[in-house]
Amino acid sequence: MQEQPPPTWVDAVDLEDVPEGQVKGVRLSGQFIALYRHGGQLYATSDICTHEYALLSGGWLENGEIECPLHGTRFRITDGSCLGPFGHDLRCFQTRVRHGRIEVALSPEDSE
Amino acid sequence: MFLQNYWYAAAWSTEVGRTLFARTICNEPIVFYRTQAGLAVAMEDRCCHRRLPLRMGKVIGDNLQCHYHGITFEPGGRCVKVPGQALVPPSARVRTYPVSERHGLLWVFLGGPELADESAIPDYHWITDADWGAKGAYFHVKAHYLLIVENLLDLTHLAFVHATTIGNTAVVESADVQFQKGPLRVDVRRLMKNSAPPPTYVRAGGFTGNIDRWQFINFAPPGFVRLETGGCDAGREADPTAKRITLRNLNIVTPETDASSHYFWAQCHDFDVRNSKLTEMIFSDVQEAFLQDVAVFEAQQQSIEQNPDAPEIDVNGDVGGLQARRIVRELLELQAARCQTIA
C-alpha cells in the first residue's frame, strides 16, 4: 500500500477573523476554501458549490449547514455532505490553530 | 401571474387630473381620474355593457360617462344612468380599486378591498421630504419587471453599462459585498474602500481624491428597490470636516403585462437640498444611466421571447436578484395555494 504524503499546513487567517457562527472564504495555494466556526469548532470545506460554481462563503451558515447563495443547496459543514437539492458532497479539509492563526491541511496535489 | 394583495404604484400623483388617464397594472386595464374634490378614482377600464375602454369616455362632474352609449358610472363603480331607459340594472357596475396617495405617487390595491391596508405601502418619504432634494421620473419599459429588479440588485453592471456616469471598475473589482436575506426582504451591502470616485460623484460632491463608497440595496416584493448610496473622503469616516454625500435612489417597478413594466424612480440627495441645479444635474446623470439600462432590459426581453428555453448561468453577483426572484416565486405559490383552498 502506497503511503499518503503528509499534508502541508498552510497559514490562512487569524482565528478572530472567523467568529462563531460565521463563514469566511480564503484562497490558499490557489484553492478556494471556506472556513467556518460552529459550536466552538473550526471547519474547512471547498468554497465552491458543487452545483454551479458559486462561492459558498457568500451564503448563509445556519445550524452547521452552509446554504449556497445562488440556488439554495445546503451542505453539512462537519463532513461536507450535500443535503440537496442540487450538487454533490463537498471536499473537507483539516484545520488547526497555531499562535492564534488558522492553518489548513492541503495535500501536495492541492498546490497550484 | 402577479401578486394580488399588494399596493402597486400606478402613476405619479401629478399625472392624474380631471381628464381620463389609463394604465394597465398587472394585466388589468384601469382608468384614473379625479373627482371635483380632487379625490383619485381607479376604475376598471372596460364598460360592463359592450366592453369599450372607459378611457374613451369623459368625466362629467364626479362621474365617468362611457363614450359608446353614454352609460354613466359614479366613483364607486355603480352605474347611475343608462340613457334611454328609466331603469338601471343593479348588475350594471364596474370594478373600482382602493387608491392611496403617498410619496408623490398614486397607488392602487389589486387584491380584496378589505385587505387594502395603506400602512403596507413601503416607505419612500425621501421623494417628498423637505430635508432632501429630489426629482422623479417615469419610464415605460418593454420588459418583465423582475429584469429591472435584478438589475438594481446586482450593481456590478455599473462598471460596464454606466462607465460614463455612475460606474467605474472599482464597483466590480474592489467591492466588499454582503448579502442578507429575510422572508420578505433582500439586502445587498456593498463597500468600496479607498476607491476612485465615479464621474457623477466628482461633479456632485466635489471630491478630489479617493473615497470610501457604499451602496446599500434593499428589495421588498413585488418590485420595490431602495438604494442608499454615498461616499466620503477615504479613511475619514469619523471626521466631521470630511466631504460626504448621501444619495437615495428609489425604484418602484409595477408590472404592466408579462412583458412590460411601469418604472417609477426618483433620485434624492441630502446635501445642498435647495439647489435645484444640483438636483437636476444628479437626476440627469442617473437618468442617462437608467436609459442605458432600459436599452438592456428591452434587448433582454426580446432575446428571451425569441428563445424562451435558452439556458442561463448564474454568477456570484446574482445572489440578490436570485433571492428576490425566490421570494416572489414563493409568494406566488402561497397565493395559488390559497386560491385553491378557497375554490
Mean pLDDT rounded to a whole number for chain B: 94
Q: Is B30 inside any structural domain?
A: yes
CATH of the domain at B297: 3.90.380.10
Let me know whether B92 and B186 are in one domain: no
d(CA A37, CA A26): 14
The answer, yes or no, to whether residue B107 has pLDDT greater than 90, is: yes
B96-114: average pLDDT: 97
A70 and B181: CB-CB below 8 Å? no
- Residue B95's nearest CA partner among B28, B34, B40 is B28
Q: Give the pLDDT confidence score for residue B5 in this predicted structure.
A: 96
Q: Rounded to a whole number, what is the distance in Å from the CA of A71 to chain B's nearest CA? A: 8
- The closest CB to that of A54, out of B177, B181, B316, belongs to B316
B130-156: average pLDDT: 97
Q: Which of residues 295-314 of B touch A (CB under 8 A)?
A: 313-314
Residue B89: give the domain boundaries. Answer: 7-119
B82-99: average pLDDT: 96
A4-21: average pLDDT: 91
B60-74: average pLDDT: 98
A70 and B319: CB-CB below 8 Å? yes
A91-96: average pLDDT: 96
For residue B21, give the 3-state DSSP assignment.
strand
The answer, yes or no, to whether residue A112 has pLDDT greater than 60, is: no
Let me know whether B110 and B194 are in one domain: no
Q: Is B339 inside any structural domain?
A: no
User: Residue B82's pLDDT band (boundaries 50, 70, 90)?
Assistant: very high
Least confident of A54-58, A81-85, B203-207, B299-303: B203-207
The answer, yes or no, to whether residue A65 has pLDDT greater than 90, is: yes
Question: What chain A residue is nearest to B322 in terms of C-alpha separation?
Answer: A70
Q: Is B1 inside any structural domain?
A: no
Q: Give the pLDDT confidence score for residue B166 in this predicted structure.
A: 73
Q: Does A52 touch chain B (CB under 8 A)?
A: yes
Q: Is B81 inside any structural domain?
A: yes
Residues of chain B contacting residue A58, judged by C-beta atoms under 8 Å apart: 177, 179, 316, 319
Q: Does B130 touch chain A (CB under 8 A)?
A: no
Q: Does B315 touch chain A (CB under 8 A)?
A: yes
B156-166: average pLDDT: 83
Best B179, B180, B189, B316 member to test A by mutation, with max A CBs in 10 Å, is B316
Residue at grid coordinates 417628498:
B128
C-alpha torsion sign, points B235, B238, B243, B244: positive
Q: Does B188 touch chain A (CB under 8 A)?
A: no
Q: What is the DSSP string of B168-206?
A: -THHHHS-EEEEEEETTEEEEEEEEEEEPPPHHHHHHH-
Bond before B222 cis per omega within 30 degrees: yes
- The closest CB to that of A58, out of B313, B319, B326, belongs to B319
Least confident of A21-30, A61-70, B32-41, B160-169: B160-169
Terminal-to-terminal C-alpha distance of chain B: 17
- The closest CB to that of A52, out of B177, B313, B319, belongs to B313
Let me know whether B111 and B144 are in one domain: no
Question: What chain A residue is nearest to B315 in terms of C-alpha separation?
Answer: A54
Let me know whether B130 and B177 are in one domain: yes
Q: Does A55 touch chain B (CB under 8 A)?
A: yes
C-alpha cell at position A88: 454533490
Q: Give the pLDDT confidence score for residue A7 in this predicted structure.
A: 83
CATH of the domain at B77: 2.102.10.10
Question: What chain B residue is nearest to A24 in terms of C-alpha separation?
Answer: B178
Residues of chain A contacting residue B316, judged by C-beta atoms under 8 Å apart: 54-55, 58, 69-70
Q: Give the pLDDT confidence score for residue B203 in this predicted structure.
A: 87
Let me know whether B252 and B278 are in one domain: yes
The answer, yes or no, to whether residue B183 has pLDDT greater than 90, is: no
Amino acid found at A40: G
Q: Give the pLDDT confidence score for residue A6 in this predicted structure.
A: 79
Q: How many domains does chain B have?
A: 2
Q: What is the pLDDT of residues B279-299, one digit of tens each?
A: 999 999 999 999 999 999 999
The residue among B100, B119, B138 that closes a domain is: B119
Let me know whether B113 and B228 are in one domain: no
The answer, yes or no, to whether residue B35 has pLDDT greater than 90, is: yes
Q: Is B2 inside any structural domain?
A: no
Let me know whether B147 and B23 are in one domain: no
Let me know whether B12 and B138 are in one domain: no
The CATH architecture assigned to A8-110 reads: 3-layer Sandwich (2.102)
Q: Give the pLDDT confidence score for residue B12 in this predicted structure.
A: 98
Amino acid found at B165: T
Let me know whether B201 and B297 are in one domain: yes
Let me know whether B226 and B323 are in one domain: yes
Q: Is B61 inside any structural domain?
A: yes
The answer, yes or no, to whether residue B238 has pLDDT greater than 90, is: no
The residue among B64, B87, B119 that closes a domain is: B119
Choice between B243 and B172, residue whose per-residue pLDDT is larger: B243
Q: Is B63 inside any structural domain?
A: yes
Question: Using alpha carbons only, what angle is made at residue A60 by residues A57 and A63, rounded to the nearest 5 degrees?
Answer: 120
Question: What chain B residue is nearest to A56 in terms of C-alpha separation?
Answer: B316
Q: Does B179 touch chain A (CB under 8 A)?
A: yes
The answer, yes or no, to whether residue A1 has pLDDT greater than 60, is: no
The residue among B66, B86, B119 that closes a domain is: B119
Share of chain B above pLDDT 90, in %: 84
Q: Does B186 touch chain A (CB under 8 A)?
A: no
Let me know whether B169 and B31 are in one domain: no
Let me know whether B140 and B260 are in one domain: yes
